[in-house]
A and B are shown apart, each in its own frame.
Chain A
């Protein structure tokens, strides 16, 4: 298994541009999480899905952020328009049930200039 796959690994964009981050979870996992990590705020949960359905999006900072999971093997996190304060590492993680912990992707380092 290739693990959780995120793309791109690095993204540099100008303020105001749309950014789309992608995630392919591990096959068979029924939970998918999007996190953001910064030095100041640590790890923050943005949204999570169960069986492709969004369950808790209370961590999504504002309407500029949206996430979708059209099928069990793909999810996107979109920021439109992007702002410099969105600069962070964004992680996707997937898991099965609650007994085994979660597998994280390598992350996307986003820089908004």
Chain B
């Protein structure tokens, strides 16, 4: 079952612009994770934010988490053509189960 829902489903921007993707979920969580998938490849872990954290940075990536709204956003600043990929959020539900529930992803195209 899909808990996370990414928004938008697809995004097309010019190189150098910022890209913002959103994720909503339904249940209480331990953490929320963002992954990138290039076409035909495996998923690559980008960043993990715990339920008691509100914001996290990693290079050009900024992730926010609002547990009251059950939502998260991923901001990629100064985008590059190499950022073209699908981006997925995944939530680990509260408790001891390590199962991740995945959204269907946002397809990002960065045009040179």
Contact = CB atoms under 8 A, between A and B. Distances in A.
A101 B98 contact: no
Contacts of A56: 97, 99
Interface string A76-113: 00000000000000010101001111111111000000
Interface size bucket, B side? 20 to 34
Nearest to A105: B42
Nearest to B46: A101
B102 A42 contact: yes
Nearest to B1: A44
Interface of B: 2, 30-31, 33, 35, 41-48, 88, 92, 97-100, 102-105
A43 B41 contact: no
A107 B39 CA distance: 12
A50 interface: yes
Secondary structure at the A interface, as helix, strand, loop or mixed, is: strand
A45 B99 contact: yes
A50 B98 contact: yes
Secondary structure at the B interface, as helix, strand, loop or mixed, is: strand
Contacts of B41: 106-107
B99 A101 contact: no
Given A31-B98, A50-B98, A106-B41, A98 B92 contact: yes
Nearest to B103: A42
B2 A42 contact: yes
A42 B98 contact: no
A91 B43 contact: yes
Contacts of A43: 43, 88, 102
Interface in A1-30: 4
Nearest to B45: A101
A45 to B, nearest CB: 6
B42 A107 contact: yes
Contact of B100 (A45, A55, A99): A45
